[in-house]
Amino acid sequence: MEQTYAIEMLNITKRFPGIVANDNITLQLKKGEIHALLGENGAGKSTLMSVLFGLYRPEEGTIKKDGQVVEIKDPNDANALGIGMVHQHFKLVECFSVLDNIILGVEPCSHGFLQKAEARKKVLALSEKYGLHVDPDAMVEDITVGMQQRTEILKMLYRENEILIFDEPTAVLTPQEIEELMQIMRNLAAEGKSILFISHKLNEIMSVADRCSVLRKGRYIGTVNIKDTSREELSRMMVGRDVEFVVHKEPARPGKTILEVEGLTVASKSHGNNAVKDVSFTVRAGEIVCIAGIDGNGQTELVYGLTGLEPLKGGRITLEGQDITHASIRKRSTLGMSHIPEDRHKHGLVLDYTLEDNMVLQRYFQPEFVNRAGFLKRKAIRDYAGRLIEQYDVRSGQGPVTIARSMSGGNQQKAIVAREIDKAPELLIAVQPTRGLDVGAIEYIHKQIVAQRDAGKGVLLVSLELDEVMALSDRILVMYEGEIVGQLDPKTTTVEELGLYMAGAKREGA
């Protein structure tokens, strides 16, 4: 009890409609330590940090700074308490210089004129002290991602923050830059700063953190000392042993090859490297192949490349013997590719359209729904939508004429699943098909996916949920940094082993 904590978050509970994002979570950050916060996507890490940063107000729980209860109503309060954060996506003004960005919001002024010379001196001193090399006069748009990050760190130091939050800081860095960042973090801790390091990369946590708290599905699992633990233990704590959703399925009977991918390479939009690097695999009829991996390792871009949403930089895609490398999206779709997209609001639905109009989004141009003169056959569309709604149990306020925006997420997703499956595809690409859904909807969608497999279709499932991967797949391909680093058999592998591959701690043939 004598131990003084820089920040304590005690019994924090934060609810959103339908889910408890943080369920009675306690996090205690000691002075001068590097404390890792570990958890899968959706485990509640970001919510917890948003609570600390004043972006959300918790329903229950208290926050203490240096033993005193404090109230953080907005980010300004957080700043005043010396809490600073480096966001995953940097918050810098691209067309400003590094110095301008650092002083932004706390510009030293005298009679309304900026006193930059003074600021520059302070920034250079800080940069020297912590080994944060930046060029204060360079424009942010011209400098490397690593230097942008150092600028963000200097921003916190310039404001004399004592508690530094790093939100997945290594996601965008090269291995050399990561090593450099680790050293910087150690220096900062040695100078007495307290650091919260949010990550799901086990290697990094093992190498830099003193202690680690683990969250899973909004619940607090525990806090361990890094020197008393192992990667395996952390991985087990992160994903949990018990598989929550049991899906009954017969052993797969794979048939002919449906999809063949050779040397697929897709450029990244956020950085100069390729997001997908020379990936090859096949999907056969009657099997579910699952791409597992932590978010941002190239899965999204892989799917964009396969479905034609993004152009390829290299490689070849063959669907049922036909080369579709350069085929249009419509062509791929009519050749038998269905796509349950990752983002149902961005891609999956026209939210301001009615449910019935959304149901025919992939088929409205077929003679069944449009006559030769180009008029839509409204009655046919209504009947078709009605059938899908009944068959797939899509619930909505006014049936076919409900505006899609007003439907619940689960029913929106069911509508998409119905549309894509009823197209009678040869290949079903399902990306995060159960994201943000309740247990009932998840079960239903899992059953539909297995039914597609049993009907002899090829299924490519991309999922970030390990439970889903283990429950559904017949074959697992693990993606890490744009490459397939392992092929696993879900019957013989363990969640722990899968976790190691996903975190980049292990790779085949290495």
Residues forming the site for other proteins (CB under 8 A): 307, 309, 328-333, 339, 341, 346-353, 357, 361-362, 364-365, 370, 374-376, 378
Question: In terms of CB distance, is 212 or 404 closer to other proteins?
Answer: 404
Question: In terms of CB distance, is 373 or 510 closer to other proteins?
Answer: 373
Question: In terms of CB distance, is 121 or 269 closer to other proteins?
Answer: 269
CB of 18 to other proteins, least distance (A): 14
Tokens encoding 134:
């930046």
Residue by residue, DSSP assigns 327-355 as: --HHHHHHTTEEEE-S-IIIII--TTSBH
99 SS3 class = helix
Determine which helix (DSSP H) or strand (DSSP E) holds 151, and give its type and residue range.
helix 145-158
Residue 207's contacts (CB-CB under 8 Å, 6 or more residues apart) are: 182
Q: Tell me the C-alpha distance between 119 and 125, whole Å.
A: 10
CB of 188 to other proteins, least distance (A): 40
Residue 450's contacts (CB-CB under 8 Å, 6 or more residues apart) are: 247, 249, 288, 472
Question: In terms of CB distance, is 208 or 416 closer to other proteins?
Answer: 416
CB of 408 to other proteins, least distance (A): 15
Buried b (16+ CB within 10 A) or exposed e, 486-501: bebebeebebbbbbbb
CB of 384 to other proteins, least distance (A): 14
CB of 342 to other proteins, least distance (A): 11
Question: In terms of CB distance, is 22 or 307 closer to other proteins?
Answer: 307
The DSSP 8-state label assigned to residue 160 in this structure reads T
Q: Tell me the C-alpha distance between 23 and 43, whole Å.
A: 10
The DSSP 8-state label assigned to residue 490 in this structure reads T
Q: How many CB atoms lie within 10 A of CB 415?
A: 28
Tokens encoding 183:
């050293």
Q: Tell me the C-alpha distance between 42 and 328, whole Å.
A: 34
Q: Is 73 left (phi over 0), alpha (psi -120 to 50) or beta?
A: alpha
Question: In terms of CB distance, is 83 or 359 closer to other proteins?
Answer: 359
CB of 309 to other proteins, least distance (A): 7
Question: In terms of CB distance, is 267 or 376 closer to other proteins?
Answer: 376
Q: Is 94 left (phi over 0), alpha (psi -120 to 50) or beta?
A: alpha
Amino acid letter, 242: D
Tokens encoding 289:
């192949």
CB of 429 to other proteins, least distance (A): 12
Name the residue with tokens 């899609």: 404
CB of 307 to other proteins, least distance (A): 8
Question: In terms of CB distance, is 328 or 391 closer to other proteins?
Answer: 328
Question: In terms of CB distance, is 125 or 350 closer to other proteins?
Answer: 350
Q: How many CB atoms lie within 10 A of CB 4?
A: 9
CB of 398 to other proteins, least distance (A): 10
